[in-house]
Structure 1
Amino acid sequence: MKYIVSLLITSVIIFLLGNILPGAHITDYFSAVLVAFVLSILNVLVKPVLAIISIPITILTLGLFMFVINAVIILLAAQLVEGFKVNGFLGALLFSLCLSLVQSVAQNLLDKQEQRR
């Protein structure tokens, strides 16, 4: 159940960012749900492989290279989901940064709400 709630919250965030940010565009909410689902699959399957391959550069950049990996994951998702477009690498990087920031705030709010129960 927690995964479904997280997926729906991420979908709302993706939909809003896709309509607010200049480098990204999403056509409808269903596409946002698909993007959230595809991102979760890519984060499980592709991101660990990219992280292992890029360990040396990640260490040299003190972990900042992970933002590049996240942008690559966003670009892959844009290729896989027809209703989601990102204008180049910088658009994907901006989308990735904003998505990570808003997701962490939303996750903190959910965690605080669960602690109150």
Structure 2
Amino acid sequence: MKMLAVWLINAVCLLLVANLVPGIYIDGFVRALVIALALGLVNTFIRPILSLLTLPITVLTLGLFSLVLNGLLFWSVAHFVEGFRVSGFWAAFWGALVYGLVSWLASVMLLSRDD
């Protein structure tokens, strides 16, 4: 049940990000649910592999390259999901950053820690 709540929170946060960050467009709530699922799968399966492969550059940049990696993964999901458009790298970079912060904040505020 908690996983469903996190999924819904992430979809709503994606819609909020589309309204806050110029260059990010989402066609509706159902599309936001699909995008949230795709981002979750990408962050679960692909991001750890890419993080390991880019570890040297991440260490050299004192961890800042992980923000670039988040933006690139956010942008790549837009290429695979119909109805999700990101106009360029910087929109993806800021979109991923805002999405991560808003999603984290909403999860902390809405989900109890007792579970």
Same fold (TM over 0.5): yes
TM-score (norm 2): 0.93
Give me the whole-angstrom Cα distance separating, in 2, the residues matched to 1:109 and 1:43: 22
Deviation at 1:63, TM superposition (A): 1.1
Aligned residues: 115
Asked if the contact 2:9/2:107 (under 8 Å) is kept, the reply is no
Unpaired runs of 5+ residues, structure 1, are none
Give me the whole-angstrom Cα distance separating, in 2, the residues matched to 1:56 and 1:82: 34
Asked if the contact 1:25/1:85 (under 8 Å) is kept, the reply is yes
Deviations 1:67-115 (A, max 9, x none): 111111111110111110001100000100100111121122135x344
* Identity fraction in percent: 36
Unpaired runs of 5+ residues, structure 2, are none
Asked if the contact 1:19/1:26 (under 8 Å) is kept, the reply is no
Q: Alignment partner of 1:46: what SS? A: helix
Asked if the contact 1:25/1:86 (under 8 Å) is kept, the reply is yes
Q: Alignment partner of 1:22: what SS? A: coil
Deviations 1:36-77 (A, max 9, x none): 000001011110111011000111111111111111111111
Partner residue of 1:32? 32
TM-score (norm 1): 0.91
